[in-house]
């Protein structure tokens, strides 16, 4: 069997390509579908099926574009009701791809239509299972996302469905089965995902808290819901796009990839309700940027942070990008449904400055300067997640997670304070949002806790590395 794992996108959303005897099946494609078409062409294969594990919340799937360009059949599991042509599989329905087979296994819990796909070789031996958001490496999917679509679906009820799906449908499968989940660490679709991208089902039974053999449904529900934060606000909007349909990426690029002179860019910013989104590196942003612009750099967790912090997928955007990165920025925004880019600043920030328009900066200091001044007892705000903060932080610091800034910014200190994160990325995002709201009484600490750790600043006991920026 030939199965290739293809990673694209900023959150390691995985797509899986199975090819056999001139036929191919695609699992959960990302919105830019040309790589899948090119891969099939290279292998002399025809894309026959597009298998969707569920209506995704964290990204806009490429199912419609891929089906339009290839004629392949989109497949969903039982209970799915898309507003476009698709095959709704019955539980245990088998699809042939050459001599291999793909069995749909209905596993409600993350959502009601959630379905896993069991891959078997030419001899009928199970090889691997595409688990979507039902089973991750080290975790399982959160059960609270479908509530936005149907109020009667409480997270407790969905957690119960997930418990049954895992025990009755997944855990009885062979231990040597390879688990292929849709996400790794960093996705908001779970709370404790591993950085590993595959594992055997047998090892997951031994190590994944949610697959503990002696766990009751009540214990499972309690552990699954414990510490589960609110999902990003854009998630329900992406679900609706995946159910109802969306403009093709080709159309989005034609509409969005418009070079604007500094004068035209300034006029568009003044005459519309567009947000100026600066996607350069944080080191460049702190030195000079357009006043009131929001920084979310392409090199970090770009698209999820855009969705979590800008929230409304219909929000018009104007882009400030590194040269040559305009199409990448538009494409990555489209992955989370932000398709309303009005254009980008031609010539970048240099063109803005050369046109004589106003620039702003962000106060920022090295970890060493922070260490020499911390005796002044200015408050220290840590923008990392609660789990990261709990593992190690500056003694006396206050935790103020970036994803809460829009709701809770008024709770920040009124006096001058220091702001940092893990590596310098999130603190600049947060600082840009604060400045856009007229809050300037802070100083960013470059390199975050990674840099502070190398100084004499007192830290609480270290217990677990975060791996976050």
> Are 331 and 8 within 8 A, CB to CB?
no
User: Using CA atoms, how far apart are residues 223 and 144, in angstroms rounded to an integer?
Assistant: 14
> What pLDDT score was predicted for residue 394?
95
Q: How far apart are CA 211 and CA 213, in angstroms?
A: 6
Per-residue model confidence as pLDDT tens digits over 335-349: 999 999 999 999 999
- What was the pLDDT predicted at 467? 44
Instruction: Report helix angle 249-256 to 326-334, nearest 10.
Output: 130
Q: Which residue in 150, 151, 165 sits closest to 77, CA to CA?
A: 165
pTM of the prediction? 0.88
Q: In angstroms, what CA-CA distances link 182 with 143, 188, 189?
A: 16, 12, 10
The pLDDT assigned to 375 comes to 66
Give pLDDT < 70 ranges for the chain: 1, 5-14, 146-151, 183-195, 375-376, 462-469
Q: Specify whether the CB–CB gap between 314 and 254 falls below 8 A.
A: no
| Residues ≥6 apart with Cβ < 8 Å to 41 | none
pLDDT score of 150:
61
Nearest to 103 by CA among 90, 112, 94: 94
**377 CB burial (10 A radius; 0-12, 13-18, 19+):** exposed
Q: What's residue 376's pLDDT?
A: 63
Q: What is residue 465's predicted lDDT score, i.e. its pLDDT?
A: 45
Report d(CA 199, CA 189) in Å as an integer.
19
Residue 187: the pLDDT is: 54
CA gap 15, 28 in Å, rounded: 6
């Amino acid at each position: 069997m030939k199965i290739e794992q293809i990673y694209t996108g900023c959150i390691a959303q995985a797509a899986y390509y199975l090819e056999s005897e001139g036929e191919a099946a695609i699992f959960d494609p990302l919105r830019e579908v040309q790589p899948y078409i090119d891969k099939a062409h290279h292998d002399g294969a025809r894309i026959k099926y597009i298998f969707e594990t569920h209506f995704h919340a964290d990204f806009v799937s490429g199912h419609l574009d891929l089906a339009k360009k290839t004629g392949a059949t989109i497949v969903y599991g039982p209970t799915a009701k898309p507003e476009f042509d698709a095959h709704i599989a019955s539980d245990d329905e088998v699809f042939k791809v050459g001599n291999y087979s793909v069995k749909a296994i209905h596993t409600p819990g993350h959502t009601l239509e959630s379905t896993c796909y069991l891959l078997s070789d030419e001899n009928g031996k199970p090889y691997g299972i595409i688990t979507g958001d039902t089973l991750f490496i080290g975790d399982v999917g959160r059960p609270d996302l479908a509530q936005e679509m149907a109020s009667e679906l409480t997270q407790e009820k969905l957690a119960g469905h997930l418990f049954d799906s895992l025990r009755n449908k997944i855990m009885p499968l062979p231990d040597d089965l390879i688990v292929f989940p849709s996400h790794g660490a960093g996705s908001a679709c779970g709370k404790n995902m591993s950085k590993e991208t595959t594992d055997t089902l047998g090892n997951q039974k031994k190590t994944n808290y949610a697959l503990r053999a002696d766990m009751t449904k009540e214990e499972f529900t309690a552990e699954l819901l414990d510490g589960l934060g609110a999902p990003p606000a854009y998630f329900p909007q992406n679900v609706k796009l995946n159910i109802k349909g969306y403009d093709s990426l080709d159309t989005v690029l034609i509409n969005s990839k418009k070079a604007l002179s500094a004068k035209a860019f300034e006029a568009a910013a003044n005459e519309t309700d567009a947000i100026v989104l600066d996607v350069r590196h944080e080191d460049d942003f702190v030195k000079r940027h357009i006043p009131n612009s929001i920084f979310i750099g392409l090199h970090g967790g770009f698209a999820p942070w855009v969705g979590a912090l800008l929230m409304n997928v219909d929000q018009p955007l104007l882009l400030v990008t590194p040269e040559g990165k305009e199409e990448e920025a538009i494409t990555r925004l489209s992955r989370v449904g932000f398709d309303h880019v009005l254009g980008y600043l031609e010539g970048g920030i240099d063109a803005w400055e050369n046109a004589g328009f106003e620039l702003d900066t962000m106060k920022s200091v090295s970890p060493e300067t922070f260490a020499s001044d911390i005796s002044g007892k200015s408050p220290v705000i840590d923008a990392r997640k609660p789990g990261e903060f709990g593992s190690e932080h500056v003694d006396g610091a206050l935790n103020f997670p970036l994803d809460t800034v829009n709701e809770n910014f008024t709770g920040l200190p009124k006096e001058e304070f220091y702001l940092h994160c893990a590596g310098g990325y999130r603190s600049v995002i947060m600082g840009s949002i604060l400045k856009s709201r007229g809050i300037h009484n802070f100083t960013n600490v470059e390199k975050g806790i990674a840099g502070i750790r190398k100084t004499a600043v007192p830290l609480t006991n270290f217990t677990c590395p975060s791996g976050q920026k």
